[in-house]
Amino acid sequence: MAVKTGDKIPYFTLNDQNGKPFAIEKLIGKKNLVIYFYPKDETSICTAEAEGFRDESASFKGLGAAIIGISSDSVESHQKFAANHQLPFTLLSDPEKEVQTLFAVPKDLLGMLPGRTTYIINKKGIVIHIFDHAFSANKHVVAALKSLQKEQSDQKK
């Protein structure tokens, strides 16, 4: 069953780009989360998306959010990708596509590649917005920022 807006995210642990286990539940209650699933390191659209999140990382930090990118690429691939593009956030390796399956991330339009989906999650671990648009990397960054800004504004009311 797909993770939908209003759902609590499932807990999972994957290795980060440094080969260390990263348990998502350690951030629940502490930070808002932007979890984005992407097909492949070093491809043009995926690189543009990662660099977009990198370029806005201070804005996300200001909104109390941690950015986490997930693909089926290896730890070593993620390590190179993060270094090549100075990515200041966590990349998680999901080689068996367990977490992609857990979230029921849809495949791309042709059904051949893992999808490009971004989940915005509040501090309580509840999905507040999902953005799914395979070929528009920059829109994922904008949608995530707008969603977190709205969440912050709603909390102040």
Strands 13-16, 65-71: pairing kind: unpaired
Cβ–Cβ under 8 Å, residues 35 and 144: no
| Sign, CA torsion 26/55/91/110 | positive
Whose CA is closest to 155, among 119, 117, 131, 123? 123
The terminus-to-terminus CA distance of the chain in angstroms comes to 33
List 14, 34, 35, 46, catalytic entry: 46
Q: Active-site residue 46, yes or no?
A: yes
Helix, strand, or coil here: 75? helix
Question: For residues 94, 96, 100 and 103, what is the CA-based torsion angle, rounded to 10 degrees?
Answer: -110
Residue positions annotated with a catalytic role: 46
